[in-house]
Amino acid sequence: MTEATSTDYTRVQVDDKEIILIGTAHISQDSVDTVIRTIDELLPDAVCVELDEQRYNALINQKGWESLNLKEVIKKGQIPFLLANLALSSYQKRMGLHTGVKPGAELAAAAQTAEERGMEVELVDRNIRTTLLRVWRKTGLWNKMKVMAALFGSLFEKQELDEQELARLRESDTLSSMLEEMGKLLPSVKQILVDERDTHMAYYIRNAPGERVLAVVGAAHLPGILSKLHEEIHPEQIAEITSIPPKTTFSKMVPWLIPGIVVALFIGGFFFGNRDQLANAATAWVLANGLLSALGALLAMGHPITVACAFVAAPLTSLNPTIGAGFVTGFVQALVAAPTVRDMEQVGDDLTTLKGWWQNRLARVMLVFLFSSIGSAVGTFVALGWLKNLL
């Protein structure tokens, strides 16, 4: 294998296939121009892009949100995934506002240019839902909290970038040091978010059709992909990193643990405690769960009916591991204050500001789900403390 580098791209010879790699910044106009210029200059047989089918459709279909069936998303329990996706996209879009370039514009330009020139387009990234689920399932509780804190923090972080700073970020040495720091902080997350995807993309780039293949990937992935292209990657490895790990026995038991403790406390109080206190204990359970969940829905500016439903549902859902308070409140909010076409069309722009999360009805459903769930969880632990004293 031989390797050569220009200012715009890196050439790699793998057996009888020439692979050209372009490392880009996802919010850079310079990257967009470089991609189009390089495709026209080198005329590859196939163009690979760092996208999966879902992200590709979102890029080329700017009105994709209009077809979102929010009630089905809630029924299928996909609200947490959608919320994480919105948080990530809003952070990247805020950075893009400073350069006037939409996130992923160079990937869309690569695919569109290749199609217009009659070249094969290959989507080589792993499905984003698989990536997020692997992060969640393979990460311990403490690191889960770090991931959630990072996602939540990204909603409020302001990032000032210009083309000069983006050019600096595209330097492989700088990015490598950033990834090393990420690896020290959360090695399991870095492995899934970066290393596994590098392997996945390298495999499909290497197996793309044609003798000359051009790949457009984020600069952070460039060193890893170059390294993986030197290795023999087997289909079994790809099958493993595209599988979703099953829930552990412990994680399956945890949702039943709290209801079990509560039921045990009530049974113990009935047989061995002061039975006169049972009514007070039941009242404490209802008030702690109901009031704090309702407060969460209120902070999310949920509809009054949603707030009322949070108060009624939380004490019951806290005893039922198969459904959470947030799923009830989110569904009710979607019914009584359904997102408009404008909300669907403008959700990407609205989420670039903190105020926009509350103004956009689609985002507000997400906030109702999140805040009422947190309120119910806190209320459960508060109620447990009361129960121990009352029973």
How do residues 310-346 score in pLDDT, each as one tens digit? Answer: 999 998 888 877 788 888 998 899 888 888 767 766 7
Q: Which runs of consecutive H residues, i.e. helices, occur in the chain?
A: 29-42, 53-60, 70-75, 79-97, 105-116, 128-137, 141-154, 163-169, 172-185, 187-190, 196-206, 222-229, 235-241, 249-272, 278-299, 304-317, 325-336, 341-350, 354-359, 361-390
* Mean pLDDT (the chain, rounded): 78
Place 361 in a pLDDT band, splitting at 50, 70 and 90: confident
Q: What is the pLDDT of residue 27?
A: 62
Q: What is the pLDDT of residue 389?
A: 63
Cα-based angle 76, 87, 77 (whole degrees, multiple of 5)? 10
By the 8 A CB rule, do 25 and 166 touch? Answer: yes
**Nearest to residue 45, comparing CAs of 143, 135, 120?**
120
The number of C-alpha atoms within 13 Å of 25 and in the hemisphere containing its C-beta is 24
Q: What is the pLDDT of residue 256?
A: 73
Residue length, the chain?
391
Mean pLDDT lowest among 37-51, 72-86, 153-167: 153-167
Place 65 in a pLDDT band, splitting at 50, 70 and 90: low
- Integer CA distances (angstroms), 288 to 222, 267, 273, 294, 377, in order: 51, 20, 21, 10, 10
